[in-house]
Amino acid sequence: MLRCQYSLFSVFVLFALTNAFDITRMEPIADKNIHTGNRMLYEREINANISHATAAEEDAADGVLDVNEIPVRFDDAQLWRIYNISEHMQNNMPLAEMLESKFGGVIWKENSKFLDISINKENLKAARSYLTEHNIDKEVINTNIQEMIDAAELEGIKASQAEAGSRTKKQTSSGIDWKDYHDLETIYAFMREIRQKFPKICRLYSIGKSAEGRDLKVLRISENPREYKKIWIDGGIHAREWISPATVTFILYQLMIKWEEQPDYIKQRTWYIMPVMNPDGYVYSRKVNRMWRKNRARIPGSKCIGVDLNRNFNIGWKGRGSSTDPCSDIYRGASAGSELETKAVVNFLLRRKHNLEAYLTFHSYGQAIVHPWAYKAAKVKDSAALQRVGQTAVQRILSETKSVYKSGVTYQLLSVAGGGSDDWTRAACDVKYVYTVELRDTGKYGFQLPPSQILGTGKEGLIVVEAVAQAITL
Ligand code: ARG
Ligand code: ZN
């Protein structure tokens, strides 16, 4: 288990000092707010107790913080892994949902073999006794999730600082890199930057607005949009899976830095790239609750917020693997396609389904490349072809980065769950190569994947993209 040797205070001081004295460090302002994100807010929380008015005024002035959005902390929260979950149905309620509703557990991952769930300090005792009573074994993966969050954050700060010191000029004017996770503004600035550098072949769309009014951005890259076969890539459906937008932007960067030299199976395609499908959730996960998964839609009649966008698509929507409870992390929404983010993507894709050959969606964690179906226990007709391409990617990843990925059918490798974007695209847009990619890791860090692993993980994402692009015949 990872232990953080730095106190909150020293982290703050380190950051404040290095930043204050380094005026050469050109980085977008937005990113600075985020870097200190939770910490700055935490400091303010203390201030707010002393003088409410002052803190509130400050917040209003820089627009960073709503006083109600005090960061959630996970001190002494534990991450547990529980095997054989299917044996433990409780009055028809799956164990995961049970622990979620009774003990405020946060489901990190559920697959055919195990459940990873985090339990806050206050509920540890009760949850432990519950498991003991029911003879359910657990493995404790981590005993302080806040430390893990802080360690990842500190590592990112240090990596950026190291670069600032070494005088290497930033390659991108947006300030993006793959040494750390970046905020939404930086990602959107990067998309604009690419468009500006390749005005002839890029088009930047705002395909709609999120629940909180943010732009939903898609970049198209194509030398011949009328004729070339189309590949869609998205990330960030789930807010806390930060490695996903990081990987999608990495893929975009890698495609573009050597665009002229790319092989035909890259250059003679139309690419649609949406790094952040759930911008509200992403922002919220960076500012307030690191474990946030859903979007940020208000739910009439409920105190809880947010719909799981990957349970909201109109395929097997009422089926297994989702919840009707707005407080659940896998809440499917009031109706299929109810969410603005879902609608925007659905409408955009439906109008472009001609020649749409691949749909790739990046999630974390688990290291798997899976293809439909998820909503029912069946394989698509051409599952063999999809499996072959998936396996090619798995092999290439193994030889290039040494990471072990699995490939397979979603319902088998993960679990049956309706309402997914992958199944919907396959069914409604008749796309052949549909894959959900679960990026690193296999559970050691989970969503708090250390920034030093972004590059390696990004390469793995790119390998999947290249294998799929290659598989599509020109
Ligand atoms: N971890 C992803 C999720 O739970 C996996 C998605 C797989 N596809 C699906 N339609 N369930 O959303
Ligand atoms: Zn996900």
HSE value, Cβ hemisphere, 13 Å, CA-based, for 256: 26
Chain segment 1-39, per-residue pLDDT in tens: 333 344 444 444 344 433 333 323 333 333 433 333 333
Taking the C-alpha atoms of residue 126 and residue 417, their distance in angstroms, rounded to an integer, is 29
Which of 431, 436, 439 should be mutated for ligand 1, with most atoms under 8 A from CB?
436
Residue of the CA atom closest to atom 3 of ligand 1: 310
Closest by CA to 441, choosing from 151, 282, 283, 242, is 242
Domain ranges for the chain = 2-66+166-302+305-471, 78-143
Residue of the CA atom closest to atom 10 of ligand 1: 420
Q: What spacing in Å lies between the alpha carbon of 420 and ligand 1's midpoint? A: 6
- CATH number attached to the domain at 2-66+166-302+305-471: 3.40.630.10
- The pLDDT value recorded for residue 174 is 93
Q: Which residue has the tokens 């974390």?
A: 364
- Ion ligand 2 — residues with CB under 5 Å? 238, 363
* Residue-wise DSSP of 395-413: HHHHHHH----EEEEHHHH
Q: Measured from the CB, is residue 436 less than 6 Å from ligand 1?
A: yes
Q: Measured from the CB, is residue 294 less than 6 Å from ligand 1?
A: no
The ranges of the chain with pLDDT < 50 are 1-61
- The pLDDT value recorded for residue 473 is 85
Span between the terminal Cα atoms of the chain, in Å: 48
Q: Measured from the CB, is residue 417 less than 6 Å from ligand 1?
A: yes
Helix (H) or strand (E) holding 370: strand 368-371
User: What pairing do the DSSP bridges indicate for beta strands 356-364 and 433-439?
Assistant: parallel
The number of the ligand 1 atom at minimal distance from the alpha carbon of 420 is 10
- The pLDDT value recorded for residue 50 is 36
Q: Measured from the CB, is residue 414 less than 6 Å from ligand 1?
A: yes
Residues 279 and 216: beta-carbon distance below 8 Å: yes
Contacts 24+ apart (CB under 8 A), 257-266: 259/198, 259/201, 264/474, 265/466, 265/469, 265/470, 265/472, 265/474, 266/466, 266/469
Question: Which CATH superfamily is 78-143 part of?
Answer: Metallocarboxypeptidase-like (3.30.70.340)
Catalytic annotation present for 438: yes
Residue of the CA atom closest to atom 2 of ligand 1: 363
User: What pairing do the DSSP bridges indicate for beta strands 139-142 and 78-83?
Assistant: antiparallel
Taking the C-alpha atoms of residue 127 and residue 129, their distance in angstroms, rounded to an integer, is 5
Q: Measured from the CB, is residue 450 less than 6 Å from ligand 1?
A: no
Taking the C-alpha atoms of residue 111 and residue 88, their distance in angstroms, rounded to an integer, is 14
Amino acid code (one letter) for 287: K
